[in-house]
A and B are shown apart, each in its own frame.
Chain A
Amino acid sequence: MSVTKFVGSSDKQQKAEARKAWLKRYKDSLRYSLYVCTHPFDGFWDLVHEKRGTLAAANTFLFLFLLARVLKLMLTSFQFISVPVQHLNMFEEAGSLLLPFLILCVANWAMTTLFDGKGRFIDIYIAMCYALVPYILIQYPMILVSRMITFDEGSFYTVFLGISVVWSVFLAFVGLMEVHDYGPGKTLIFLVVTILGACIIIFLLLVFFSLLSDAIGYFVSFYREIIYRLY
């Protein structure tokens, strides 16, 4: 009796400790993203090869990125963004970013594995998510700022938005370079190849989808026919 109790409590303790350790690692990996933003070459190398980044942190950044997009459309002052809010579907908006992001990651992984890229899929995914951090860091405050400035002061706003995008793209580029251990030229070539790969993936998905929809349509019409015959 007492033994099981003892074991149980130690199990609980172990679990609590594990959770604590995980939380610490998670926090550290979140904070590490700031280092990646400012020291991309060093940062991305350690992120992947020294395991400084975590999947959880990467997921967090991706989620925040999608949320930033949706909140930006919903909350930015109408002086700067004109969105037909009555037609806005936030899941559609988030999905229209998430899907290309994932497809590009998959395409990049698929292409680089064939040409001695060092990165695993998980590495590419984590690196790309960390590259989104400047976008997140700048876009959220800019939503607030947009509500405090007037139309004439809009250039200020646009410049910051531009910076956030350029910074993120630069980080993604460096990230791919470090993850695969490529040179800049080879990375550039593989960016183009990645886009081609993404097109192929989309094409296959569309073919699959339309075939599936045709197949289901057949059964649907079959069902309808029977219903009409019966009644």
Chain B
Amino acid sequence: MKMLNRVLTGLILACLLMAAAAQAFADDSFSMAQDGFSTSYTYNYDYWRDVQMSPDAYRVKKVINSMTLGLENLDGLSMKNPESLFVRDNELYIADTENNRVLQIHYNGEDFSLVRIISEIKGCDNPALKKPYDIAVDADGNIYVADYGNFRVVMMDKDLNYVKEFVKPTDSTFDQKLDFLPRRIAVDVAGRVYVLAENINTGFIKYESDTSFTGYIGANKVSVDTWSYIWKRYFQTKEQRAASESFVPTEYENLYMDKEGFIYATNTVFSEYDLLYDNAKPIRRLNGIGNDILIKNDRYPPIGDMWWIEGSTANGPSKFTDITVLENDIYVALDKTRGRMFGYDSQGVMLWAFGTKGNIDGAFTNAASIEHMGYDLFVLDKLERSVTVFTPTEYGTMIFDAIDTYVRGNYDASADLWRDVMKMNANYSLAFRGIGRALVRQNKFKEAMSYFEKAHDPQNYGRAFKLYRKEWVEKNVWWIILILAAVLIVPLAIGRVKRMKWEVIEHERNKVRRIVG
């Protein structure tokens, strides 16, 4: 026993020594794997939140800037601090803020040309635009401009004739001491105007088409964490409480009106902790009464990057400065922290992420606004004063086509497209899911299960498995009955035989007893 004890103690000591030595010898070079983002490659997050490189979904097609537009020859004024973009049909509008004008550019998919420069409104007392921050154009071609410097949102028809303007609400809910500073606007099909104004944290200001103010929608909820609340409520003096900042809801960053009339809003003020637990909701889809109805069916909420390292040139999580919604409900959010674009489908599954900071084409120094024309993306860089046009690659087009065909209900064709996607990117779980769903419809449950397993999709796997189990039981019902019967009947039979034997023995004994007796 003593010997054993000694051996055991020795072993434990040896283990400790070896572990310590291993640590001492270990190479402690810093792992780059955490931040795969110093590259401009297209990537996606897998089920484990690991970065998976993927083929490029978009490539740079054109760069529109003052030089390629010919602005130098025209009036010598190059773009200055442009704030926002808007696209209606084939017309691209740029709010050239510091130059007090709006540029209208025609883009036919290949080439672009300057159509006109909008800086004055006909038939208006105050004709000159002053710091236009945003533009919106309705289906009839009426132009709405967020005229920041003139404290108004002004509407003009397509020939630039003044129609009406939306000014500071005289309502008591609006603090009359504050200026009305419209930063971003959106217009719905009925001509209602939604305004994101500076210093207003009660949501978007909503106007009817007759310029009357009808209230606010979608106010951010006040976010208070429990500890700071307890600290403030119970441990601070009145003076301290008055001196410290109060809990107020935050302003939105941007908004976009989708084709169904819902507002997509982005929010950049939140704590990092809230982000991963889906309390921050940086992307929202607001319905008529201001509730968030964005669908999030993936394992992780749409928050952009899921890993970030502090202390590099770009700090903190993704901050979506603008968002655009494509025709097929795919939305693309623009991250100003790292100059990236994140694409999500209507279910909230990330399709791809790409882009970086820098000076080459396709990289941004200060990404400010994003718009789309068909599948092409336009990204405005405020500092570079340029608009970069991205167009989908073969791979990107394939993903869009596969999603479109599925939404249209053509499931088999969609599966074939997903197979093509899978050939180019074997790490794409959306492709596995798409193929699996088509296989379920073709009653190939076993194969579908293996695809769902690879896509880590327990819900769909469960559905396929239920059908497979039913099929299996129906096929093997006779075997199951046979085995059950064997399990139940054999012990019964054995018991019966034993009892018979015992009865025979008893009988014999009784006979003997009788004879003896």
Partners in one complex: yes
Q: Which residues of A contact B (CB under 8 A)?
A: 78-80, 82, 84, 148, 150-153, 208-209, 212-213, 215-217, 220
Q: Chain B residues near A153: list those with CB within 8 A.
A: 462
Please tell me if the beta carbons of B458 and A213 are within 8 angstroms of each other in the complex. no
Please tell me if the beta carbons of A209 and B469 are within 8 angstroms of each other in the complex. no
Contact bitstring B422-458, A, C-beta under 8 A = 1, else 0: 0000000000000000000000000000000100101
Interface residues on B, range: 20 to 34
Query: Which of B15-23, B67-75, B259-267, B503-511 is found at the contact surface with chain A?
Result: B15-23
- Contact of A79 with B458 at beta-carbon distance under 8 Å, contacts A150-B463, A150-B466, A212-B17 already known: yes
User: Is B30 an interface residue, CB under 8 A from the partner?
Assistant: no
CA distance A80 to B19 in the complex (A): 34
Contact bitstring B457-483, A, C-beta under 8 A = 1, else 0: 011011101100100000000000000
Please tell me if the beta carbons of A78 and B459 are within 8 angstroms of each other in the complex. no
- Contact of A209 with B16 at beta-carbon distance under 8 Å, contacts A84-B48, A150-B462, A151-B461 already known: yes
Tell me how far the C-beta of B418 lies from the nearest C-beta in chain A, rounded to whole angstroms: 21
SS class of chain A's interface: helix, strand, loop or mixed? helix
Q: Which of B16, B48, B463, B465 has the most CB of A within 10 A?
A: B465
Tell me how far the C-beta of A86 lies from the nearest C-beta in chain B, rounded to whole angstroms: 9
Leading 10 A-B pairs by shortest Cβ distance: A151-B462, A150-B462, A213-B20, A217-B24, A79-B458, A212-B20, A151-B458, A150-B466, A216-B24, A213-B23
CA distance A84 to B19 in the complex (A): 25
23 residue pairs bridging A and B, Cβ less than 8 Å apart: A78-B453, A78-B458, A79-B462, A79-B465, A82-B47, A82-B456, A148-B469, A150-B462, A150-B463, A150-B469, A151-B459, A151-B462, A153-B462, A208-B16, A209-B19, A209-B20, A212-B16, A213-B20, A213-B21, A213-B23, A213-B24, A216-B21, A216-B24
CA distance A220 to B24 in the complex (A): 8
Tell me how far the C-beta of B17 lies from the nearest C-beta in chain A, rounded to whole angstroms: 7
CA distance A107 to B397 in the complex (A): 63
Please tell me if the beta carbons of A216 and B20 are within 8 angstroms of each other in the complex. yes
Tell me how far the C-beta of B307 lies from the nearest C-beta in chain A, rounded to whole angstroms: 15
Q: Chain A residues near B19: list those with CB within 8 A.
A: 209
Tell me how far the C-beta of B8 lies from the nearest C-beta in chain A, rounded to whole angstroms: 12
Q: Chain B residues near A217: list those with CB within 8 A.
A: 24
Q: Name the residue of chain A whose CB is nearest to the CB of B48.
A: A84
Tell me how far the C-beta of A192 lies from the nearest C-beta in chain B, rounded to whole angstroms: 25
Q: Chain A residues near B23: list those with CB within 8 A.
A: 213
Name the interface residues of B406-432: CB closer than 8 Å to any CB of A.
Answer: none
| Residue from A79, A84, A151, A216 in contact with B17 in the complex, judged by beta carbons closer than 8 Å | A216
Q: Chain B residues near A209: list those with CB within 8 A.
A: 16, 19-20
Q: Chain B residues near A80: list those with CB within 8 A.
A: 458
Tell me how far the C-beta of A122 lies from the nearest C-beta in chain B, rounded to whole angstroms: 12
User: Is B247 an interface residue, CB under 8 A from the partner?
Assistant: no
Q: Name the residue of chain A whose CB is nearest to the CB of B462.
A: A151
Tell me how far the C-beta of A76 lies from the nearest C-beta in chain B, rounded to whole angstroms: 12
Please tell me if the beta carbons of A220 and B25 are within 8 angstroms of each other in the complex. yes
Q: Name the residue of chain B whose CB is nearest to the CB of A151.
A: B462
Q: What would 18 more interface pairs be, CB under 8 Å, given A79-B462, A150-B466, A215-B20? A: A78-B456, A78-B458, A79-B461, A148-B469, A150-B465, A150-B469, A151-B461, A151-B462, A152-B462, A152-B466, A209-B19, A212-B16, A212-B17, A213-B21, A213-B23, A216-B21, A217-B24, A220-B25
Contact bitstring B3-27, A, C-beta under 8 A = 1, else 0: 0000000000000110111011100
CA distance A83 to B44 in the complex (A): 20
Q: Chain B residues near A151: list those with CB within 8 A.
A: 458-459, 461-462
Q: Name the residue of chain B whose CB is nearest to the CB of A219.
A: B24
Tell me how far the C-beta of B172 lies from the nearest C-beta in chain A, rounded to whole angstroms: 52
Q: Which of B458, B461, B469 has the most CB of A within 10 A?
A: B458
Q: Chain A residues near B25: list those with CB within 8 A.
A: 220
Q: Name the residue of chain A whose CB is nearest to the CB of B466.
A: A150
Q: Name the residue of chain A whose CB is nearest to the CB of B460.
A: A151
Q: Chain A residues near B459: list those with CB within 8 A.
A: 151
CA distance A213 to B469 in the complex (A): 55
Q: Chain A residues near B463: list those with CB within 8 A.
A: 150
